[in-house]
Homo-oligomer: A and B are copies of this chain.
Amino acid sequence: MEQLVGPEPKYRQLQAVLADLVASELGPGERVPSERALMTRFRVSRATVRHAIDALERDGVLERRHGSGTYVAERRVTSRLHLASFSEDMARRGLDPSTRLLAAARVEADDALAAALAVAPGGPLARLERLRCADGRPMAYEVGCYPLARLPDLLEEDLTGSVYELLRQRYRRPPDGGEQLLWAEPASPRLARRLEVDAGAPLLVFQRTALSRGEPIEHTTSWYRADRYRISMELGPG
C-alpha cells in the first residue's frame, strides 16, 4: 500500500504513477489494476482514481472498457502531429533550412506570457525574433519566448541554429509535448515585407506552447507563407 503525499494533488501523483507503470511494466493491451483495487492500494477515493484515469484516457494512454477493465491503449495516438523544430520539419520535406536572427533580448513576462509559460508575471524571458528560410527564400517569421528561469543563459548561446537542439543537448530539456493553435490571417504590410509577399496575402499562423517533462519551455507564434507551406495530418475517430 503506497502513500501519495506532497504539494501535488493526489490525482496528479496517481496519474504519474500509472503513466510510469505503463511506460516501464505494462505493454499495449495489458490490463491495469481496477479502480477499486487502486483506491485501496493508494488509500484514495474512487473519484480521485477516476480523475487520474480520465486524464490518461484523454491522452490516449489508457482505454476503458465498460464491464471489463481499463487497458493500456493499443495504438499510441493516431492524430498527433510531430513536435518538430523548423530545422527538422524542413529537412523532412527535403528543403535546406536557414535562420536569420532579427532580435534577441531579455524581456519581462506580461500576464499572458506568464500564464502560458507558467512563470511569475514579470519573470525573465528570452525573446527571439527570427526569419526562417528554406532554400534561401523566406518561409516563416517567428517570435518565440523562453523562460530563463528554466533555461539559464540562453541568450549567450548560438541562436541561429536549432533552439530545440540546444534545449535537448545543452539543457537536457527535450521538448516532448505541446499544444498548438492554427489559423489564417492576411499579411500585414510589415510581415509582407519581411516574408517577401504582397500585403494581404494569406499566412498560416501557428501559436505553439511546447512542454518538456510537463513544464512549458517555449511559447512561439509563427507566420508561414501559405503559398509555400501546407501540413498533413491523420485523423482519428470521434
Contacts and interface: CB of A to CB of B under 8 A. Distances in A.
A202 interface: yes
A232 B180 contact: yes
Contacts of A202: 184-186, 202-203, 226
Contacts of A161: none
A95 interface: no
A71 to B, nearest CB: 15
Size range of the chain A interface in the assembly: 35 or more
A235 interface: yes
A230 interface: yes
Instruction: Name, among A83, A180, A183, the residue most crowded by chain B CB atoms within 10 Å (CB to CB).
Output: A183
A123 interface: no
Interface in A169-202: 174-186, 200-202
A208 interface: yes
A75 to B, nearest CB: 8
Interface string A194-238: 000000111110001010000000000000001001111111111
A47 interface: yes
A175 to B, nearest CB: 8
B78 A181 contact: yes
Interface string A50-85: 000000001000000000000000001111111110
Nearest to A83: B235
Given A177-B78, A238-B83, A233 B201 contact: no
Q: Which of A47, A175, A202, A232 has the most chain B CB within a 10 Å cutoff?
A: A202
A177 B234 contact: yes
A186 B200 CA distance: 9
Contacts of A79: 81-82, 233
A80 B78 CA distance: 13
A82 B236 contact: yes
A238 B181 contact: no
26 contacts: A58-B58, A79-B82, A80-B235, A81-B235, A81-B236, A83-B238, A174-B237, A175-B237, A177-B234, A177-B235, A177-B236, A177-B237, A178-B234, A179-B232, A179-B233, A179-B235, A180-B233, A180-B235, A181-B232, A182-B232, A182-B233, A183-B204, A183-B226, A186-B202, A202-B203, A233-B233
